[in-house]
Chain A
Amino acid sequence: MKMPRGGARFVIGFLALPVLLYVVFVIAPYLQAFYLAFTDWRGVSSTPRFSGFDNFTRLLADPTFWAAVGHHVILLLALPLITLAIALFFAFLLNMGAGTKGVRGSKFYQAVFFFPQVLAVAVIGVLFQAVYRPDKGGVLNGLLDLVGIAPIGWLTQPRLALWSLIAVLVWQAVGFYVVLFAAGMANIPKEVVEAAELDGCSRSRMFFQVTLPLLWDTVQVAWVYLGIAAFDGFALVATLSVDRGGPDGSTTVLPLEIWRTAFTYSKFGYASAMGVALFVLSLTFAVLTLRVTRRERIEY
């Protein structure tokens, strides 16, 4: 397509500012982090010293780093699986629960599910501090107390803590994916659904053999989004967990360790090396997911 006269100038005019911002605040810091990863910079001098691959060999032998990576693996499996399962289920009920329509009041439910998405992460942190409070003053433990169950240390038991945090992440994410899938389902042609219905297709068969295949592109995108979210978790871990990443380091994640290594230990070089590792991990994940889940696109 040929661009109209002055079109290039028009496009550049619109793009210049966002691209500049992106370069200054995203690309440039990334490049700097790669550079710093090879130094022993402690954050205060004006001349970082090169230390070669020191930071990286150190990283490979750092148990805290591997613990954090282990938690990301758990997050990477649990977060997308649980979130997508719940979101697909809700979206299906809301949009195709009654054949080509959703259940009664589906618009209302959709809005309600979306609420958590509107809240800032900090608000969610504060909210769940109250929900998970380990004594009888907590929302959950208060309810348990009513039926005579002793308070549970949602965030203080090392085996439970990470799962409690995953529950919060899922709670927050589901609404968004319900809306995303609802939009995807609205695009599924009515004729296909009606034809399946006439053939006596059951609800569950409809879901697995009609809806899901036609929604595959959306699911794939959702999986990548959630996978990338699984590499974060900083704000929730920092506000909710015992001693930031505890108990006994059972909830720590890489962004938290990077933050701590840089701003608490003043090892900016080493923290940058962790950042580079995180960058490589998330990029690998995104590429792999897109490759592995690539399928023949169904035209309709």
Chain B
Amino acid sequence: MSAALPQNPSRRSVLKGIGMAALAAGPLSACAFGSSDTPATGGATGEKSTTNPFGVVANAPLEVVIFKGGLGDAYATEVHEPLYKKAFPQAEIKHVPTQQIAQTLQPRFAGGNVPDMIANSGSDMMDNGALQGEGQLLDLTALYDAPAIGGSGSVRDSLLPGSVEAGFIAGKPYMMKYIYTVYGLWYDSALFAKNSWAPPTTFAEFDTLLGKIKAAGIAPYAYAGKNAAYYQYWMIAVTAAQIGGNQVLIDMDNLKEGVWTSDPVRQAAEAWASIGKKYLDPSFEGLTHTEVQTSQNQGKVGFYPSGSWLENEQKEQTPAGFQYALAPTPSVGSSDKLPYGAVRAAAGESYIVPSKAKNSAGGLEYLRVMLSKEGARGFTEKTGIITVVKGAADGLKLSPGTQSSNEALKKAGDNIITYNLFEDWYKEFETDLRSKTNALMFGRSSAEQFCKDVQAKADAIKADSSITKQSRTS
């Protein structure tokens, strides 16, 4: 997942990527963009039927590329691929696990030799917006309109609200967002119970509680400035949405004029900056998410902002008594648009089918298998993470963290705060926002300055004609 495993590029891996681009170019006369351009046929298709809605050719080989990060790849090799194989026993499945999606696949896109399904994730994921802009992605509308495997109705009807829209680019679903993630402040409920600390409902309570935690000799609040500053801007965005309603986030994604300097964002930035000033140790700016998460597991950090993959990611390091729990972000004032308990929950983790794949029908079918109840249930069993498929995890024994995020989700009801799509759409803006967030939280920039600077960058992106603009309405 993009959030779970930021990696440092080694110079070698980069050089390898560049070298591979050169190799893909083949003969010298050709260049990095491939010599022949096969027309986008989308691959051969066989007969279509209700059990085979995309007309998969039964013996067509299928190549599946899985990002092997926080989720591992057992969910693919032990659940989805066998399910696909059961439906098409003659199909040869080529499983490619990698942590470097872009380095592995970018040259293949340029050369026209693409796999049939890609889990496009990790810090080295490919820019989905750019891929779509160049016509490299398959429109997944057919997938969502197809009948759900083992259920009644279409795939679309079997999913949690907002799941399809989360994968929109230019108004159409080009990405299949698979996992349902809940975001908030994570803490060790065992540690909190022992000290009789309760999750705060307002920023005033938050302040008091962090003071108590600090007095107990524990770093009260932390995030990893070195490679996961986005965990923190998520919190600022969530708080802004609590104050001004979810429209604020939509405006951010639409690069609306003045949204970053508007009152809700400024108040959110002020609230978080004061937490940073009082309770955030400067050393956290130079630590990675793994280091900070390990500190939390050792009982040295109180609250840590993150998404619900955290528990699974830390499985190996978490000591026996440690119980992950999620607290919604506290309210700022009584005039907030959304009540306390509102949480950010979003479908995440992009799975894509290249439009020029040799077996794109197989790619679509593979996604349909993933979205079946059986496929989704198997995924939750392997990873401990719930998917966008409604009720697929019902009756499964869930871990404390997943349990806690499920409860938060239930309590939130309709008060769901959505994701920031600018992370997919405008990487340049996003990179800059990370750096500005560190400056704000570690006291080098005021809330006012932060809002002004971020707005300036948003305006610059808006004015840049070389960047394809996207928009969303919900």
Interface residues in chain A, defined as those with a beta carbon under 8 Å from any beta carbon in chain B: 23-25, 28-29, 32, 35-36, 40-48, 54, 121-122, 125, 132-135, 151, 153-156, 158, 234-235, 238-239, 242-244, 246-249, 259-260, 263-267, 270
Contacts and interface: CB of A to CB of B under 8 A. Distances in A.
B226 A235 contact: no
Nearest to A45: B134
Contacts of A35: 31
A25 B28 CA distance: 10
Contacts of A24: 22, 28
Interface of B: 8-12, 14, 17-19, 22, 25, 28, 31-34, 37, 102-103, 106, 109-110, 112, 124, 126-127, 129-131, 133-136, 225-227, 229, 281-287, 427-428, 431, 434-435, 438-439, 442, 444, 466
Contacts of B435: 243, 246-249
Contacts of A44: 106, 109-110, 126, 130-131, 134, 136
B284 to A, nearest CB: 8
27 contacts: A25-B19, A28-B28, A29-B18, A32-B25, A35-B31, A36-B32, A42-B133, A43-B130, A44-B110, A45-B110, A46-B110, A122-B10, A133-B286, A134-B282, A135-B287, A156-B283, A156-B285, A235-B10, A239-B10, A242-B438, A246-B438, A247-B442, A259-B14, A263-B14, A263-B103, A263-B106, A266-B127
B429 to A, nearest CB: 10
A248 B102 CA distance: 26
Given A32-B31, A247-B439, 7 more contacts: A29-B22, A46-B34, A46-B37, A244-B227, A247-B444, A263-B106, A266-B129
A45 B444 contact: no
B285 A153 contact: yes
Given A25-B19, A266-B127, A153 B31 contact: no
Given A28-B22, A40-B466, A47-B33, A234 B283 contact: no
Contacts of A263: 14, 17, 102-103, 106, 124
B372 to A, nearest CB: 31
B431 A264 contact: yes
B225 to A, nearest CB: 6
Contacts of B281: 135
Given A42-B134, A43-B110, A242 B286 contact: yes
Contacts of B11: 121-122, 234-235, 238
Contacts of A29: 18, 22, 32
Nearest to B109: A44
A173 B431 CA distance: 32
A125 B457 CA distance: 31
A263 B14 CA distance: 9
A266 B10 contact: no
Contact of B439 (A45, A121, A248): A248
A99 B68 CA distance: 61
B285 A46 contact: no
A131 to B, nearest CB: 12
A237 to B, nearest CB: 10
Nearest to B18: A29
